[in-house]
Each structure stands twice: as C-alpha cells, then as structure tokens.
Chains A and B, each alone.
Chain A
Amino acid sequence: MFNTCIDPSSIEGFIWLICYLTTAKHFAFYFSFLVVLLLLIFAAPLSLLFGFIATAGVRSSIIPIRILAKGYIHMVRGIPDVVFFLFVPLALDQLFEFIRHKIICFEQSEPIWRGTDFVVCKAAKLPLSTADLWVHQLYAFILALIAFALVFGAFAGNVLSGAMSAVPKAQTETGMAFGFTKKQTFWRILVPQMWVYAIPGLSNLWMILIKATPLLFLLGVEDIVYWARELGGSKTSLYAYPHPDWRVYYFAGLLVFYLLMTWLSGKVLNRLQSKLSHGQATMAGRELQGYQG
C-alpha cells in the first residue's frame, strides 16, 4: 500500500507492522468484519419478518397454518442451533439445485440421488461452475443468511407471540366492543402495543445474533474466523512477512470486537427500552414518571 512497503524484508519494527497490517489479505480480513455487519443488518429484519409471520400463523384460525407455525416455532427449542446451521444451508442448496434440475434438465431421466451421491446436471449447478469466485461467496453468504433468518425467525416468533399475549386483554376486547373485525384488532390494537413487551426479548435476541455470527465460518463463508486462522497461522520465510503462530492475537482481536459490539448494543438498547417505556402502563413506565410503590 505504501511505497516503503515494497521490500518488506528490509524494514523493521513499527513500520514493518504498519506494512504488515495493510497487505491485501489484511484488507480482505477487514472487509470480512463488514460482512459480519452486513449479515447482522440483513438477518435482523428478515428474522423479525419470519417471526412475525409465524406469530400471526399461530393465531390463525386455519388449522394447518397454525400447526405449521407452531411446529416451526417449537422446532428450535429442543435442537442445538449448530445442527440447524449445518443442515439448513446444505438442504437448501440441494433443494435449489433439485428444482433447477427439474426445470432445466427435465429430459434427463437418471435419478439425482445415486446411492450416496447427489448429482444434478451441469446447467443446474448453483452457482455455475464457470462463475466467478465472488458469485460462489455471495451464494454461500445468501444461504447462510437464510439459515440465520430461519433460526432466529423461530426465536423471534417466540418472543413476539409472548409479547402479543402480554398486551392486556381489555385492549383487544375494547376493540371488539367497538365493532373492529378480528383483522382490524390485530393490526390496529395488538401489533402497535406489543412492541414494548417484545423489546427486552428482542434485544436479548439481537445480542445472541451478534454472538452467532462467527458461525458463518461453519457455513463456508470466508468470515473473520476464517481470516484470523489464515493470517494468524505461522508463516515461513517464503512469505513476504514471516512470523510465528500469531493466531492467538487475532482471536484476541475478534474477542475485543465482539465485546465492543455487545457493550455498545447494550448501551443503545437500554436507552431504547427506557424511551419506549415512557407513558406505558408498566412498572418501568411508572418509575420514569417518579412513581414510587
């Protein structure tokens, strides 16, 4: 990056460190932090949406929808999420390729599952084997994003359905008494009021989402864990910047990154909570108004 860095073997000390930290690979490492933040930004609203749909499904009067929604929410309770994170992307990948195979290569009659192999025609491969590396990366990222949204959607569904039942019954009954339809009470009374009850659970979920992001590594995305292992591993003199095993420092850096993220989020969410509690008929809301008792 800098002119002084052209010949790394001739420099020493602090400048060496500066040069070392600004290599192209290190920029890929810094970029992977951005990937984590990107994942957070996309996964949070998506899982909220999934959770919301599931919650609405649980309250639906159509039995199959209710069963499906309940099954989805309860599914994650008993199963470690790691299993989900390993399973969902693989299953989705096979599903997509299977569908594409059926559409694109419909004339091929050979079975897709041959014994232990999963074979689809070349044109149905996702992404195509001729695609650039970044397409593969993007595809892996999207699969991971869907896995995150699915798992956290189920959690969010749990939180939201709890929040909905925490809204005082009198509120919905009043709505009914005014002649609101079921749909209207849901959208105009239940949904606007449930958020204050949902915020503690959702902020907890956000913290957990932050702490779940290193699982991207398991999903084959070149994330911060991947780069920390890659860059930290001992480099022989064949490399431009030889150094012993430094992985522990890289992981210490990641640790600090995550601690900072959770610390900052905690501050922001606390503030949000107290803002939302203003004027609410909850204990926190009363305390804000100086109510003792």
Chain B
Amino acid sequence: MSNCWTTIQDYGLRSIGIGERILPKTDITICEQVVLIGSGLIWNIYFGIIAVFFGFWFALMLAIGKNNKLAIFRNPSNSFIFLFRGSPLFIQFFFVYELFVLLPKIGVTLDFGFLSFSLQTHWLTKAWLGGLFVLFCNTAAYSAEIFYGAIRSVPSTELEAAEAFGITGWHKFWRIIWPSMLRLAWPSYTNEAIFLFHATALIFFTGFPAWRQSGDALYYANYFSDRTFNPFLPYPIVAAYFILVTLIIISIFGFANRYLNRHLDVEQRTQIKLSINLLR
C-alpha cells in the first residue's frame, strides 16, 4: 500500500507536468493505472468547466440572436449553430487544428492606431487553448439550440402580464424571460453539460498533440492498453472515472435545478431527466 502512496506522489499530477517525468513502461501495476488515468482526468475537468462556463454566455447570445426578428441577427446565429451542430466534433477538431497551424508562428500584431499588441497565436495549436476553443464553440451551438427552444416555450401569459405592467425591452428579457427560460432549459442543459464532459475525451485523439505525454484520462488509458495489450483494465477505469464525474455533475446541476424551481408547486417543477448521451 505504501508503494501505491509513492505512485500517487509521483504520478498524481503527472498530466499537468508535475512529478515523475517518465511514464511506467514495464510491470505496470493497477495502482499506477488508476493514479495516472485519474491524473489525466484533471484535463477533462478543466476542459469541461471552462468550456461550459464560457459557452453558456455565448450560447445565450446566439439564442437571443436566433430569436430576433431581424435577419442580420438571426442569420449569423443560425449559420453558426448549423456549422457546429451539422458536422462531427471530431472533424471540427482536425480542421481547426490545421487552421491554427497555418497561422503565423510568431504571432499577429494588431495595430489599432492608438494601441497595438501582438497576439500569441502559437498557443492556439496547443490543446489547452485550441481544443478548448473548439469545445467552447461546439457547446455554445448545442446549448444555443436548447436555450432557443426554451425562449420559445416561455408561457405567453407571463409575457402578456409583463407588457401589461409596462415592462419592455431588456428589462422584460432579464426579469421575465430569462428566469423562465433558464428553468425550462435546465434539464436539457444538464444533459448538454454531461455530454460536453464526455466530448472532452476526444481532444487528444484528434489533431491536438499531447505535450510531454501530458494527456487526458483517455490518453493514458490508451497508453496503458497499448503497453499491456490488455484493454480490459484501463478502459473500465476511465469509464468508472467518467461515471463518477457524471454523477457529480448531475448532483450540482440538480441543486441548481431545485433553486430555479423553488417558487413553483411541487407538481409544476421541472425534473432533470437524464437523456441518453450521444456522440457528436
């Protein structure tokens, strides 16, 4: 057991470059597999949290745009959503990576006259930023569709009541539509978040290379499966980790769901119903 403790010290933070550099090559123990794959999970959680957080706000903008009567707002939203929902995430990763590789390595200098700064484009070819960017766009597109549906199903009586009180414009949105929309969208959005978390497993399998063998959970699982020719241990370990995080996501989002529904009668409350998780 003490042996396993040293393994945790060596490999616990291996995926972010802290600890022992060299991965175990021979006599791979179960402990090493569990610890290293768990260490890779840090990346999945990082991608998941950041993409969901920023994607949420962008999705909201897209949904409002899609709901707008004016074509100049509606069409860009629609095309963005179609582009990212209509193509496989896998191809998006490849394409965007190649696109970022083509960007000049030294960075782009933006000159606004009064202010000029150089953008460091080479970070975009790294998974932590480039992969995140794709995930962000992808989740924004899928969530936007969910939010749009929720905006459309806000009860018209609520809107009429608001108008009767003279609440219009942005005020109407933030005070009336937004709370109802969020409440209606939340169960689907929970599934979206779970789904996005599962999609993080794709990043290191696509164009984005792992730097110094610091990859995500699946990257290490694949490493062990290649090394030991035994897929029956590492992949179930990944699966177990993902199920664990999925349960955590469900409980956090369930907590938020109760908060959003606190003003309603018990029968009227929306329930989170787990839908099947599918690939993109």
Contacts and interface: CB of A to CB of B under 8 A. Distances in A.
Interface in B214-272: 218, 221-222, 225, 227-232, 235, 238-239, 242-243, 246-247
Interface in A78-104: 78-83, 86-87, 90-91, 94
Contacts of B242: 78-80, 83
A252 interface: yes
Interface stretch (A173-181, A192-200, A212-220, A277-285): A212-220
Given A76-B277, A80-B218, 20 more contacts: A78-B243, A78-B246, A82-B201, A83-B238, A86-B221, A86-B235, A94-B231, A116-B230, A117-B229, A154-B276, A214-B88, A214-B90, A214-B91, A232-B98, A247-B94, A248-B101, A252-B95, A255-B95, A259-B87, A262-B86
B198 A251 contact: no
B221 to A, nearest CB: 8
B280 A208 contact: yes
Given A83-B201, A248-B95, A251-B95, A211 B279 contact: yes
Interface in A208-258: 208, 210-215, 217-218, 225, 228-229, 232, 245, 247-248, 251-252, 254-255, 258
A4 to B, nearest CB: 31
A79 B89 CA distance: 17
7 residue pairs, one from A and one from B, having the closest CB atoms: A80-B198, A248-B98, A251-B95, A211-B88, A78-B243, A262-B86, A214-B90
Contact of A118 (B85, B227, B230, B246): B230
B68 to A, nearest CB: 22
A2 interface: no
Contact of B280 (A79, A211, A228, A245): A211
B205 A82 contact: yes
A77 B274 contact: yes
B99 interface: yes
Say whether chain B's binding surface is mostly helix, strand, loop, or mixed: helix
Interface residues of A, number: 47
A213 B82 contact: no
The interface centre, meaning the residue of A77, A81, A82, A252 with most chain B CB atoms within 10 A of its CB, is: A82
A47 interface: no
A113 interface: yes
A204 B95 CA distance: 24
Interface of B: 28, 82-83, 85-92, 94-95, 98-99, 101-102, 198-199, 201-202, 205, 218, 221-222, 225, 227-232, 235, 238-239, 242-243, 246-247, 274, 276-280
B82 A255 contact: no
Contact of B279 (A94, A208, A245): A208
Contact of B205 (A78, A117, A218, A247): A218
A210 B279 CA distance: 10
A214 B94 CA distance: 11
Contacts of A205: 278
Given A82-B218, A83-B238, A263 B98 contact: no
A90 B236 CA distance: 13
A210 B89 CA distance: 11
Say whether chain A's binding surface is mostly helix, strand, loop, or mixed: helix
A257 to B, nearest CB: 9
Contacts of A159: 276
Nearest to A262: B86
Nearest to B227: A116
A29 interface: no
B228 A116 contact: yes
A172 to B, nearest CB: 24
A158 B276 contact: yes
A264 to B, nearest CB: 10
A211 B205 contact: no
Contacts of A158: 276
Contacts of A77: 274, 276-277
Contacts of A217: 90
Contact of B88 (A94, A154, A232, A258): A258
11 contacts: A80-B277, A81-B198, A81-B279, A82-B201, A86-B221, A155-B276, A204-B278, A211-B90, A228-B94, A248-B95, A262-B85
A214 B101 CA distance: 21
A212 B85 CA distance: 12
The interface centre, meaning the residue of B28, B231, B242, B280 with most chain A CB atoms within 10 A of its CB, is: B231
B278 A251 contact: no
B230 A113 contact: yes
